[in-house]
Chains A and B, each alone.
Chain A
Amino acid sequence: MRKSFSAKTIETTSMVVVGIFALLCILPVLNVFATAFSKASAVESGKVGLWPVDFSVESFLLLLKGTMAVRATWNSIVITAVGTLICIVMTVLAAYPLSKSYFIGNAFFTKMIVFTMLFSGGMIPGYIVVQKLGLIDTYWALWLPAAINTYNMIVMRTFFNGIPSELEEAAIIDGCGELALLWKIYLPLSKPVMATLILFYGVSHWNTFMNALLYINDPVKQNLSVLVQQMIKSMNVMTLELNTANPQDLQAITSAGIRAAGVVVMVIPMLIIYPFLQKYFVKGIMLGAVKG
């Protein structure tokens, strides 16, 4: 009797604590949405909590009009789409040979690659390499240095290792070469791990910040995360256009509202893909965990 009571107590306590933490995780998101969709006067007076006060989209209109938000959003989309494609291709090219025990040099390459996880040259030598290659102010500076995430590559290699070798032997007897084997047997069987890694790589390119700060100086090429960051640091990003447009607009809007609108624009795609993301990332992490 006492036993079941204590198990029940533990479950109830757990539910309360986990519930509070779960709320804490989404409340700031709600708060930023509420701020973005509230009228400037309400934001100014600090009345906005978790729900918009005097619903209005003026912050978004000013964001569109006064900043490079549209351009930056498009840039982020380009960076993410091409970057993810490059990452996936390169990760397959690395993971497939390394998953074969007969691949000559496998042990050596694996050791070298694991070493890069332990030790890195650091920010400055990396910058010099990118600069000498002439990649500054091109998106190649964001795509190439991030082409393979070694951890993700190991996850994919582990997945390839788990594909039964009987399938492979049968295909070879049918006259299948190494490349056809990858294309016809391995890739079609790897959809779950592909989905996981596409999402992981996509998220990291969408969120990319430090590399964009380092390598992209041209404001027209800037991505959304750097733009949002600049809006947060100061409101100087607001272009002349807004200042000259209508002085009353300027009065009507608070920096807090536009800031929040920028954050919301960057969060929305993440919220849209989040259900898919959640379906796959748990699996992806467990795949990685198996390797240990």
Chain B
Amino acid sequence: MFETLRLSDLGEGESAYVKEVSARPGMDRRLTDLGLVPGTRVTCVLKSPAGDPRAYWIRGALIALRGSDAGGVRVERRLETVPAGVAVL
């Protein structure tokens, strides 16, 4: 079971794995610098009051991204591999 969606579509508490980073030029490199490369596990941890930006847990750090930037990251949810308890993070 696979489901591909944009990083910005992840709801609070949901996790997924990065499939492809194709953000705006400049931003894609910056996301790579933060460790956001294909295969990385990301969790959407916080939503700001307006719902955008959101904060994501990326390799041990909490990083806030605007929807326009997170939208350029395709993520893949392997539904059966995400254990139930992890979403609390």
A, B in one complex:
no
| Interface residues in chain A, defined as those with a beta carbon under 8 Å from any beta carbon in chain B | none
| Interface residues in chain B, defined as those with a beta carbon under 8 Å from any beta carbon in chain A | none
